[in-house]
Structure 1
Amino acid sequence: MKFYKLVFFNTLIMGTLISISSSSWLGMWMGLEINLISMIPLLTNKNSYSSEAAIKYFITQALASMIILMIIIMVSLYFSLNILYIKSYLMILNSALLTKMGAAPFHFWFPEVMEGLNWMSSLLMLTWQKIAPMILLMYNSQINNYFMIIIILSMLISGILGFNQISLRKILAYSSINHIGWMLPAILLSWSIWLIYFSIYFLITLNILIFFNYFNIFYIKQLIPIINFNFTLKIFFLSNFLSLGGLPPFLGFLPKWFLINELVKNNFYFLSMLMILLTLLTLFYYIRITLSALMLNFNNKIYFNNIINKLLILINFLNLMSLPMLILSLNAF
């Protein structure tokens, strides 16, 4: 990693920590701005696509930050107004935070930005950049009709728009929007469930992106010949992919089970049922890729050196952590 990228990576982490640990909304806004300014150099590369993605990301995030600052000033100046005005201000503030994390229907920028990034930048976009907006939502929100609409739209839109995608970056982007739909009720109901969910999501995404990054895979047609050369790698990778979709009995199902249990305890029966049904849309295109990889076979041989063999050992070890974990979840209940 280049020295300047290492510096900006540290300030990126610092911006998120400032935002989530601040005791005032102005401090939280400042942390988000430090995070934004640090992210832009990390997105840029030698190709023009990354520059375009960085500009799109900057414009969208700057617009959301401007709305957040405007609402902070208005609430601080007119806090003695009617409570209905305060609720309206908070709804606009929450919309800006949802735009920052890429939740539907404020997701318009997210797949387009992802399409221009390399895999390491994509890892930051899919995981770390979600932390600060979600925790800020937890500080001032609870599940209401507005958030129920956001959760349902995130799952519905991500499922429908992900159907005909051949780009793995866009598939992971729409998958992330679907996971946002699961993480929002988790962060609003139970901090511990959100932490478990996010940690497992981060682990599974890291496993998949290490593989994609090393073999330089960006499209489904590139993926199938690579994983067909090694049966063990194929099984581990496909297990990981299904785990990201939340198919039981893989590890990705565990936090969803916890969250469904918490939703039922809080009498959100209709919401939990809708979330389960709409997640099947996302699971469909995971299974489509998985079945293609299992049923199609290529005879062309691919030769790998010792370094790649060592990498495969690392990938296989990491993927073992995403293999069936149903016993753990049974013990948890």
Structure 2
Amino acid sequence: MMKLYKMLFMNTLILGTLITISSYSWFSMWLGLEINLLSIIPLMAKKDNLFPSESSMKYFITQVLASLMFLFTIIMSMNFQEFSPQNSSNFLMMILNSSLFLKMGAAPFHAWFPEVMEGLDWGNSFIMLTWQKIAPMMIFMYNLNMTFFLSWIIVFSSIISGIMGLNQISLRKILAYSSINHIAWMLASMMNFKMIWIFYFIIYSIINLNLVVIFWYLNIFFTTQLFLIFNSNKMFSFFFFMNFLSLGGLPPFLGFLPKWLTINGLINSNFFSLSIILIVFTLVTLFFYMRLTFSAFLLIKTEMLLNFYFSMKFWMIFFNVLALTGLIYCTMMINF
């Protein structure tokens, strides 16, 4: 049963994000970010997490630093008549955008993100991967004018996430570096048409939810524990590697749709080199997804004599099938 304090802080967590994305002033946005930060710290600091104090402290210090940078930019902008991208200096806008990138965990401001993820359980990890990205990305959409700086952040995020994810054995760190790669795609989707970012974020959250539910249900955190899936339940194994392929953006699955739309927008805007970098380093992330799921493809494999039997619930099968076959429904809706 969910405890009362968890319900309270979960409501204020949602409220803080809603205040940020619905504000008319920069100070109200900062206020919503602070409410969001103060709400997630008690949720992170619980005994079910591996390193509750360490993760909470790292996250708190990083987010306070980003909030101070954000507030500093707002105060410095009071020299101008109105704070907007048209009448503020590029230096202030760069500080403001850097604080938002630090909050969402985009490279090269990413060092805290995998370390914080390593000490969390799967429920808090899902919040960190999805919900905590909404507020800074929505603020960033209001001042989307520094194309050169944004392009370098996209390049750094795609390269670092591809390289750093190769030598990881922790599933939480793999999902963290995967999230950094998807941040690069989301930022690239904002450069052309803002609606693509909404599609991308919703689809990314659905795929992450399916994977996190499987990990939470089996209580596994490392790649060496994945053999329990492959030996216990073939349906778990099937949905597991299908969701990872969808997360990588392979064409038959729903994860291909937002990347397709993003690449289409980048090419129409003549961002050819940026689209090539994104595609190439997404293939690197797809490589370590395939490495995780490769034993599920093998016809002949060694199995443990001691079997652990897990049965999938109907709602888990329903959501997995819906997420994996969603590209067909989206294509039919667009055509008709």
* TM-score tier after normalising by the smaller chain length: over 0.9
2:145 paired residue number: 142
Residue 299 in structure 1 maps to residue 301 in structure 2: no
Cα–Cα, structure 1 residues 303 and 225, in superposed 2: closer, same or farther, change >3 Å? closer
The answer to whether the aligner puts 1:14 opposite 2:15 as a matched pair is: yes
Amino acid of the structure 1 residue aligned with 2:101? L
Q: CA deviation at 1:302?
A: 3.0
Work out the CA distance in 2 between the residues paired with 1:99 and 1:105. Answer: 8
In structure 1, list runs of 5 or more residues that go unmatched: none
Alignment-mate amino acid for residue 159 of structure 2? L
Contact 2:100 2:140 in 1 (8 A): yes
Among residues 264, 271, 274, which one is paired with 1:271 in the alignment?
274
- Contact 2:80/2:87 (<8 A) preserved: no
Normalising by structure 1, we get a TM-score of: 0.93
Looking at structure 1, the residues matched to 231 and 97 of structure 2 have their Cα atoms a distance apart, in angstroms, of 45
- Do residues 174 (structure 1) and 177 (structure 2) align? yes
1:182-223: per-residue Cα shift (whole Å, max 9, x none)? 001223422211111101100010011011111110001111
| Residue aligning to 2:261 | 258
Tell whether 2:8 aligns with 1:3. no
Structure 1 residues 303 and 282, CA gap change in structure 2 (3 angstroms): closer
Distance 2:102 2:7 in 1: 27
Output the amino acid matched with 2:76: M
Q: How does 1:180-329 map to 2 (within 5 A)?
A: 180-295=183-298, 296-304=301-309, 309=311, 311-328=312-329
In the alignment, is the contact (CA less than 8 A) between 2:257 and 2:327 conserved in 1?
Answer: yes
Q: CA deviation at 1:324?
A: 4.4
Contact 2:228-2:308 within 8 A present in 1 as well? no
Hey, what does 2:36 align to over in structure 1? 35
Q: One-letter code of the match for 2:259?
A: K
User: How many residues are treated as equivalent by the alignment?
Assistant: 329
Cα distance in structure 1, aligned partners of 2:164 and 2:306: 35
Superposed CA deviations along residues 74-116 of structure 1, whole A, max 9, x for unmatched, are 00134599x8961110111000000000000000100000000
Farther off after superposition, 83-92 or 174-183: 83-92
Q: Secondary structure at the match of 1:247?
A: coil
CA contact (8 A) 1:254 1:325 kept: no
Tell me if the contact between 1:228 and 1:293 (Cα under 8 Å) persists in the aligned partners. Answer: no
Percent identity reads 53
Provide, for residues 208-250 of structure 1, a one-character-per-residue CA deviation record: whole Å limited to 9, x for no partner. 1011111110001111222332222211221011111112221
Q: Separation in 2 of the partners of 1:69 and 1:197? A: 29
Query: Residue 62 of structure 2 aligns with which residue?
Result: 60
Aligned mates of 2:270, 2:78 — CA distance in 1? 35
Rounded to whole Å, the distance in 2 between the matches of 1:320 and 1:208 is: 13
Q: Assess if the C-alpha contact under 8 Å between 1:158 and 1:178 holds in 2.
A: yes
Quote the Cα distance in structure 2 between the aligned partners of 1:222 and 1:214: 13
User: CA contact under 8 A between 2:203 and 2:255: conserved in structure 1?
Assistant: yes
For residue 282 of structure 2, give the secondary structure of its aligned residue in structure 1.
helix
Let me know the Cα RMSD of the aligned residues: 2.1
Provide the secondary structure at the position in 2 that maps to 1:228.
helix
TM-score normalised over the length of structure 2: 0.92
- Taking structure 1 as reference, are residues 218 and 146 closer, same or farther at Cα in structure 2, changes over 3 Å only? same
The whole-number CA distance in structure 1 between the counterparts of 2:259 and 2:138 is 19
* Preserved contact between residue 29 and residue 65 of structure 1 (Cα < 8 Å): yes
The letter for the 1-side match of 2:304 is: N
Q: Find the residue that maps to 1:322 and give its secondary structure.
A: helix
C-alpha distance in structure 1 between counterparts of 2:9 and 2:65, whole Å? 22
Gap change, CA 1:143 and 1:302, over 3 Å in 2:
farther
- Does structure 2 conserve the Cα–Cα contact (< 8 Å) formed by 1:229 and 1:301? no
Q: For 1:273, what is the secondary structure of its paired residue?
A: helix
Is contact 1:123-1:205 (8 Å) kept? Answer: yes
Q: Distance in 2 between matches of 1:48 and 1:211?
A: 19
Taking the aligned partners of 1:17 and 1:39, their CA distance within structure 2 comes to 15
What residue number does 1:98 align with? 101
| 8 Å Cα contact 1:237/1:319 also seen in 2 | no
* Counterpart secondary structure, 2:51: helix
Distance between the aligned counterparts of 1:275 and 1:196, measured in 2?
18
